[in-house]
């Protein structure tokens, strides 16, 4: 049995609280040592494994990780990611270990090109200029998202209304990037995809390596280029039905749909000038 000094370098991992309590009581009775501060018991082995692997720099370059309960991470298996073919999954360690040219990426963006995850990644590196936060970014992060998460509904909707060319898509992507450690973030690849398949894959992403523990880490799904509001509602309802089929409780939002909507209204000269609360389950920012 380990002595006090040896216990300082031992980390005990149990797969449930009952096992932890049994070992804790036994070691306390036999050795007078409290292992509470040296024991992990609220995380699954998959979460412990993913968290440990993510700490190794070489794994950050070759493997991809998703956030899980308690600030842990799980490994996103390549075959699983391939099966989520309607979604572009944004991982916790997105871009780490890549070799993209920073100057070319920045030049392309500032010339009016589409923003990439690389632009956000480079802006966070030492010595780089921070990415300029679009109007309402802090409001969405600190007020709207927490408010949506508190709703007792499986799938909630946030409509982000913007004039073309004013940075609405960039704002949405910046929001996903900033929340990738707290949500399982993804972008819908094709607005014409089979919505039943999309709903199935969104719920699979929600439950992946996390189905033994509640609450789940919510999914934040960005949608762009939908030409009809009804399509978004259809997708929302299909996701809700899929959650009900999997018996996922809705004490809080499990999926947030961040829908970028373009508007040509001349009465909206600035991006995201007004917040309009439509109802408790759907918000429009425009």
Per-residue pLDDT of 233-244, as tens digits, reads 999 999 999 999
In angstroms, the Cα distances linking 249 to 147, 228, 254 are 18, 29, 9
Q: What is the pLDDT of residue 66?
A: 94
Q: Indicate whether 278 pLDDT > 50.
A: no
Q: Which pLDDT tens digit goes with each residue over 132-148?
A: 787 788 999 999 999 99
More confident residue, 213 or 1: 213
Measured in degrees and rounded to the nearest 5, phi and psi for residue 77 equal -65, 140
Domain boundaries, the chain: 4-40, 102-285
Average pLDDT of the segment spanning 72-91: 94
67-76, 195-204, 205-214 — which one is most confidently predicted on average? 195-204
Average pLDDT of the segment spanning 23-49: 74
Concatenating the DSSP letter of every residue in 48-107 gives HHHHHHHTSHHHHHH--EEE-GGG-EEE--HHHHHH-TTEEEE-TTTTTT----HHHHHH
Q: Which pLDDT tens digit goes with each residue over 43-65?
A: 666 666 666 666 565 555 678 99
Please state, in angstroms and rounded to a whole number, the distance separating the CA atoms of residues 105 and 175: 19
Tokens of 115: 């923003």
Residues in the chain: 286
pTM of the model: 0.77
Average pLDDT of the segment spanning 79-99: 91
Contact 247, 146 (CB under 8 A): no
In angstroms, the Cα distances linking 39 to 27, 36, 44, 92, 213 are 12, 6, 13, 25, 18
Q: Which pLDDT tens digit goes with each residue over 161-181?
A: 767 666 788 899 999 999 999
What three-state secondary structure class fits 277?
A: strand
Q: Indicate whether 8 pLDDT > 90.
A: no
Please state, in angstroms and rounded to a whole number, the distance separating the CA atoms of residues 174 and 171: 5
Tokens of 50: 């993913």
**Tell me, which fold does domain 102-285 have in CATH?**
Rossmann fold (3.40.50)
């Amino acid at each position: 049995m380990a002595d006090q000094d040896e216990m300082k370098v031992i980390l005990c991992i149990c797969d449930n609280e009952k096992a932890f309590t049994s070992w804790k009581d036994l070691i306390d009775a036999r050795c007078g040592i409290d292992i509470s501060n040296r024991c992990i018991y609220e995380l699954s082995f998959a979460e412990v494994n993913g968290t440990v692997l993510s700490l190794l720099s070489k794994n950050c370059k070759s493997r991809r990780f998703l956030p899980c309960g308690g600030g842990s991470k799980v490994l996103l298996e390549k075959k699983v990611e391939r099966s989520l073919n309607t979604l572009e999954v944004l991982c916790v360690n997105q871009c780490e270990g890549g070799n993209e040219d920073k100057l070319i990426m920045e030049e392309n963006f500032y010339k009016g090109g589409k923003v990439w995850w690389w632009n956000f990644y480079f802006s966070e590196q030492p010595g780089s200029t921070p990415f300029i936060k679009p109007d309402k970014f802090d409001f969405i992060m600190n007020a709207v998202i927490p408010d949506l998460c508190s709703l007792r509904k499986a799938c909630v909707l946030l409509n982000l209304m913007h004039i073309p060319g004013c940075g609405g898509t960039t704002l949405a992507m910046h929001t996903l990037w900033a929340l990738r450690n707290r949500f399982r973030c993804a972008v819908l690849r094709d607005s014409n995809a089979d919505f039943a398949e999309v709903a199935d894959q969104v719920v699979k992403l929600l439950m992946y390596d996390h189905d033994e523990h509640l609450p789940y880490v919510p999914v934040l799904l960005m949608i762009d280029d939908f030409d009809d509001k009804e399509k978004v509602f259809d997708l929302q309802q299909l996701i809700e039905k899929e959650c009900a089929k999997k018996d996922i409780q809705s004490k809080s939002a499990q999926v947030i749909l961040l829908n970028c909507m373009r508007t040509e209204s001349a009465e909206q000269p600035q991006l995201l000038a007004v917040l309009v609360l439509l109802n408790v389950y759907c918000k429009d920012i425009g």
